[in-house]
Amino acid sequence: MTITYTWRIENMEVAPHEGEKTDVIKALHWRLIVVEGDGYRSDIYGDAPLGPAGEEFIPFAEIEEDAVIGWLLASLGTAQVANVQEIVAERIAQARTPKVVTRSVPWA
């Protein structure tokens, strides 16, 4: 079964001024959306701090989504990325085989 993982950056916290630099990204607010081939889906939202701006600073207006997602994954680390994916997979498994469901009243 095909599983699609989509990382999205919802918004970013920035320091307006940090030394000579402007709009320095300090934290990322992200969402991981997971869709399985049979249509079940789930998502999880989180945030991740970023370290200090490096030597190769990219002006805010010039950053690209793929680069920021790369920063996010590096910030989270391999173990945390796997943990987040596991949490979402568990949510999908629970949706597929729920332990409790809502039913309409029988006298309606």
- pTM (predicted TM-score): 0.84
Percent of the chain with pLDDT over 70: 99
In a domain, 31, yes or no: yes
Residue range 84-104, pLDDT digits in tens: 999 998 999 888 888 898 999
Residue 85 lies in a domain: yes
Contacts of range 17-24, beta carbons closer than 8 Å, 24 or more positions apart = 18/53, 21/53, 21/57, 22/59, 22/60, 23/59, 23/60, 24/53, 24/57
Is 72 within the bounds of a domain?
yes
Task: Specify if 108 maps to a domain.
Answer: no
CA dihedral 51, 8, 73, 91 (to 10 degrees): 120
**Residue 21 domain-assigned?**
yes
- Count how many domains the chain has: 1
Q: Is residue 57 part of a domain?
A: yes
From first to last of its 108 residues, the chain has per-residue pLDDT tens of 788 999 999 999 999 999 889 999 999 999 999 999 888 999 999 999 998 877 788 999 999 999 999 999 999 999 999 999 999 989 998 888 888 989 999 997
Measure the CA–CA gap between 86 and 81, rounded to whole angstroms.
Answer: 9
Q: Are 13 and 32 in contact (CB under 8 A)?
A: no
- Residue 105: inside a domain: no
DSSP state at residue 61? G
Per the structure, the complete domain to which residue 23 belongs is given by 3-96
Position 106 in a domain: no
